[in-house]
């Protein structure tokens, strides 16, 4: 690329690409094909020099390792040149990255699509991230990351790392939900039974079965592929006339330990499931779960005889309408496999939970009629 008087001389092809992409950004919404590509890959369109200055912050934010117990990055990151943007516009996760005041192609593109009001916010340091959903494909996120200079961008990315990661995780869960939830393959008879007996329902995939249903214990266990090397377990437990005060870290740990000690036992009853002790204590966070305040726990479980273990995810919340404390829990037993995608699948299933009051009358009739056939 030639440079003269500190101004880049753009080729006619690049100028056309800039004009085309800027026009697409401003175009009206039209029906689009679904985004394609690897679910946990983010393509970063950036100048090579600018990218490598920001790479540590990007990896810290999007490539954060989760342990299952193997270390697996939440997202992998791959840089693409600006001239490749048109060829990747159908991918699921895209970041366009550049400070607004550089003369790189991505910077010029970002400057061309920001209106004067938005540009003023960037120039004042008030905004640095802009999300465009379904821009070139359905269920796609194109994130613009910018700022006045590289150093400011580094600070902003690290400061807002959890939010930046959440945007991609939320959309990834939405795409997975779209693939997992199918009225054609759901087990309506199990869902109808749960609704009738317990007053709540959860989407049950065709390959799950009802392993335990203990109304007297307020406990339900859904299980997939028992006895195999890739099991998935989901349980729902609830406490009637509960106090919201039970929503604290120690209480939910004790409740989970009690439940798994009683119901998650080996076939010969010689061992039970427990939370893996130090140094692998669960991470507990306050979250919004289905528009409710909840505590989310993520950690590891093991058999008490140390013969196996795996990751779990747990949501505990208080439902004001029913005065119940609900605990929803998903666990993975897959010793030969990476487990990040498996734990995401059970997480998405947990998020299908609904109380009877949240169901439409038509949906209730549909599920209840399934147990009468």
Residue whose tokens read 């393509």: 43
For residue 37, being part of any structural domain is answered with yes
Same domain, 170 and 265: no
**Strands 71-73 and 129-133: what pairing?**
unpaired
Final residue belonging to a domain, choices 110, 144, 179: 179
- 131 and 206 belong to one structural domain: no
Write the pLDDT tens digit of every residue in 301-339.
999 999 999 999 999 999 999 999 999 999 999 998 999
Instruction: Tell me: do 101 and 206 sit in the same domain.
Output: no
Alpha carbon of 207 to those of 15, 183, 198, 226, 256: distances in Å? 52, 14, 22, 11, 25
Instruction: Yes or no: say if 162 and 170 are a contact pair by the CB < 8 Å rule.
Output: no
Question: Phi and psi at residue 212, in whole multiples of 5°?
Answer: -145, 140
The answer to which of 18-22, 127-131, 209-213, 271-275 has the lowest mean pLDDT is 18-22
Q: Domain boundary at 146, 179, 212, which?
A: 179
Which residues lie across from 265 on neighbouring strands? 272
Same domain, 142 and 275: no
| CA gap 289, 347 in Å, rounded | 11
Q: Which two tokens stand for residue 120?
A: 């003023």
Structural domain contains residue 19:
no
Looking at residue 102, its pLDDT comes to 93
Co-location of 290 and 215 in the same domain = yes
Give the CATH number for residue 51.
3.30.379
Max Cα-Cα span within the chain: 80
| Token representation of residue 245 | 């005060």
Do residue 193 and residue 338 come from a single domain?
A: yes
Structure confidence at residue 103 as a pLDDT band (50, 70, 90)? confident
Question: What are the residues whose beta carbons fall under 8 Å from the beta carbon of 105, sequence distance 6 or more?
Answer: 8, 10, 14, 18, 47, 82, 83
Peptide bond before 334: cis, by omega within 30 degrees of 0? no
13 domain-assigned: no
> Domain check: are 225 and 208 in the same one?
yes
Domain boundary among 145, 179, 213: 179
User: Looking at the domain assignment, is residue 89 inside a domain?
Assistant: yes
**E strand spans, the chain:** 3-4, 7-8, 41-45, 65-67, 71-73, 76-80, 93-97, 129-133, 141-145, 200-201, 208-214, 219-224, 231-239, 273-275, 283-289, 292-303, 309-319, 324-333, 354-355
Residue 326 inside a domain? The answer is: yes
Mean pLDDT of 168-196: 93
Specify the pLDDT at position 3.
39
pLDDT of residue 356: 97
| Number of C-beta neighbours around residue 113 at 10 A | 19
Same domain, 84 and 188: no
Say what percent of the chain tops pLDDT 90: 79
Arithmetic mean of pLDDT, 202-224: 96
The pLDDT value recorded for residue 5 is 38
Please count the structural domains in the chain.
2
Give the pLDDT of residue 71.
Answer: 86
Mind listing the pLDDT tens digit for each residue in 238-290? 999 999 999 999 999 999 999 999 999 988 999 999 999 877 788 999 999 99
Same structural domain for residues 267 and 164?
A: no
Looking at the domain assignment, is residue 298 inside a domain? yes
Does residue 20 fall inside a structural domain? no
Among 128-137, 149-158, 250-259, 276-285, which is the least confidently predicted range? 276-285
Say if residue 247 is in the same domain as residue 361. yes
Taking the C-alpha atoms of residue 122 and residue 110, their distance in angstroms, rounded to an integer, is 11
Q: Strand ranges (DSSP E) for 16-61?
A: 41-45
Average of per-residue pLDDT across 328-354 = 95
Pair (210, 316) in one structural domain: yes
Domain residue limits at 298: 183-370
Assess whether 106 and 139 both reside in one domain: yes
Q: Look up the CATH number of the domain holding residue 238.
A: 3.40.1000.10
pLDDT of residue 67: 82
Model pLDDT, residue 18: 54
- Condensed to tens digits (0 to 9), the pLDDT of residues 57-95 reads 999 999 988 888 888 999 999 999 999 999 999 999 999
Whether 20 shows a pLDDT value over 60: the answer reads no
Check whether 7 has a pLDDT greater than 90: no
pTM: 0.84
Q: Let me know if residue 3 belongs to a domain.
A: no
């Amino acid at each position: 690329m030639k440079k003269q008087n500190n101004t880049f001389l753009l080729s006619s092809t690049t100028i056309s690409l800039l004009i085309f992409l800027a026009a697409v950004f401003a175009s009206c919404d039209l029906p689009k094909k679904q985004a394609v590509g690897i679910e946990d890959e983010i393509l970063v369109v950036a100048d090579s020099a600018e990218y490598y200055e920001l790479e540590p912050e990007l990896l810290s934010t999007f490539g954060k390792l989760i342990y299952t117990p193997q270390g697996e990055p939440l997202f992998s990151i791959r840089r693409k040149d600006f001239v490749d943007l048109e060829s990747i516009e159908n991918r699921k996760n895209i970041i366009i990255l550049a400070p607004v005041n550089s003369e790189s192609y991505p910077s010029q593109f970002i400057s061309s699509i920001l209106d004067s009001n938005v540009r003023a916010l960037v120039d004042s340091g008030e905004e640095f991230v802009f999300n465009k959903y379904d821009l070139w494909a359905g269920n796609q996120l194109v994130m613009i990351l910018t700022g006045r200079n590289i150093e400011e961008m580094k600070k902003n990315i690290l400061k807002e790392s959890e939010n930046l990661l959440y945007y991609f995780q939320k959309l990834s869960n939405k795409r997975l939900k779209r693939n997992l939830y199918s009225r054609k393959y759901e087990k309506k008879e199990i869902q109808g039974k749960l609704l009738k007996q317990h007053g709540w329902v959860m989407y049950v995939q065709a390959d799950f079965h009802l392993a335990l249903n203990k109304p007297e214990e307020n406990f339900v266990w859904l299980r997939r592929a028992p006895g195999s090397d890739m099991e998935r377990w989901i349980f729902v437990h609830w406490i009637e006339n509960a106090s919201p005060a039970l929503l604290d870290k120690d209480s939910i740990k004790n409740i989970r330990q009690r439940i798994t000690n009683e119901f998650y036992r080996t076939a010969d009853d010689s061992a039970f499931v427990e939370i893996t002790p130090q140094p692998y204590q669960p991470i507990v966070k306050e979250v919004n779960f289905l528009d409710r305040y909840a505590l989310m726990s993520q950690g590891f479980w093991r058999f008490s005889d140390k013969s196996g273990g795996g990751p779990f995810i747990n949501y505990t919340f208080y439902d004001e309408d029913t005065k119940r404390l609900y605990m929803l829990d998903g666990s993975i037993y897959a010793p030969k496999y990476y487990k990040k995608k498996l734990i995401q699948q059970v997480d998405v299933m947990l998020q299908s939970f609904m109380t009877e009051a949240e169901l439409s009358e038509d949906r209730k009739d549909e599920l209840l009629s399934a147990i009468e056939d």
